[in-house]
Amino acid sequence: MIEYFEKTKEGRMKKIPSCKNGCWINATDPSSEEIKFLTEKFDLNEENLHDGLDIHEIPRTESDEKNIYIYLSTPTEKISQEHISSFLIVYTQKHLITTSKYPLEIFEKLSESKSKNFKDISGPTQILYLLYLISKSFETSVRRIVKEIKENKSDLSKLNNEDIAKLIQNEDKLNSYITPFETMIDNYYKILRHSSLHFKEEDREYLEDLITDLSQTLGLCKYNLQSISNMRTYYSTNLSNNLNKTVTALTIFTIFLAIPTVISSIYGMNITLPFQDNPNLFFYLGGLVLFIWLVLFVGLKRYKFL
């Protein structure tokens, strides 16, 4: 599917029926015919367009004589079992073209944009705005995860299986973010230094700020991954300790229960036994059991089993 957008004087995005100079062209899961149309109409590299549909494509920047191909990654919730997806930005002299396999949130944000600071869709400042939206999306997602981690970290003793499952999901999400982060930062630098992208000095400073923000978000991901690992280790250790305590308590209870069982079993046999005719035998045996229990208790207490 191919859609066309232009920006109004008020800074809003408006969908238009056909292509015109300066518009944004968004191709979502384009068919073979649509890819052929884009290739021929705008003189694009077909292989690069196909790479842009790969959700696992590595962030990078390529260029030919006419166009610049920028591969980026962004957080998404629209793909099953995936937390990020790659997409392609094609910067031409007259248009901004984006292609992706799925209708990513980043394009919804761009289409709903009301920013007056980025008026020219086809200019390099619109690429800067896309880079800003990506950085903001990563930052928002990571900070949401950090908030959940802090809530669980505030009282580790109350962690349960559901909390651990959420931590593992967040760990998987952070790991998926870290994978493209370093290549994305390098890619931002390449965009900043690209000879065909003529950024104003204030835009260059803004892009440098975005690179700093990405680096800080990367550091935040790594720090919280370590926190999750520590929390899982604590939960596992605590669970193991509680299990050991339970097993120890049951073992001690079994030992104490076995003593009167053994004595009563002996005196329950149909043979001649000492003091079996003594009317106070029950009290003697009861005292013997209590004495053995006392000795066991003192011994277990001494060796810190209790």
Q: What is the tens place of the pLDDT at every residue in 71-83?
A: 888 888 888 888 8
- The verdict on 111 and 209 lying in the same domain is yes
Of residues 41, 101, 109, the one with CA closest to residue 71: 101
- The verdict on 114 and 228 lying in the same domain is yes
- The verdict on 143 and 227 lying in the same domain is yes
Is pTM beyond 0.75? Reply is no
- The verdict on 220 and 121 lying in the same domain is yes
Cα 51 from Cα 86, distance rounded (Å): 9
Best-predicted range by mean pLDDT among 84-88, 229-233, 269-273?
A: 84-88
Domain holding 30, by residue range, is: 2-239
In the chain, the number of structural domains is 2
* Residue 14 covered by a domain: yes
* Residue 61 covered by a domain: yes
Looking up tokens 């599917």 gives 1
- The verdict on 182 and 233 lying in the same domain is yes
User: pLDDT tens across 244-255, in order?
Assistant: 888 888 888 888
Give percent above pLDDT 90 in the chain. 0
Does residue 97 register a pLDDT over 50?
A: yes
DSSP type of residue 59: P
Looking up tokens 């802090």 gives 150
Point out the domain boundary residue: 239, 263, 278: 239
Does residue 11 register a pLDDT over 80?
A: no
Q: Can you give the pLDDT at residue 118? A: 45
- The verdict on 66 and 185 lying in the same domain is yes
User: pLDDT tens across 155-205, in order?
Assistant: 666 667 777 777 788 888 888 888 777 788 888 888 887 767 777 777 788
Point out the domain boundary residue: 188, 204, 239: 239
* Residue 244 covered by a domain: no
Q: The tokens of 277 are what?
A: 């005719």
Helix, strand, coil share of the chain (percent; to 5): 60, 15, 30
For the chain, strand residue ranges (E) read 2-7, 13-16, 24-28, 60-63, 68-75, 84-91, 96-100
- The verdict on 226 and 267 lying in the same domain is no
Q: Can you give the pLDDT at residue 119? A: 47
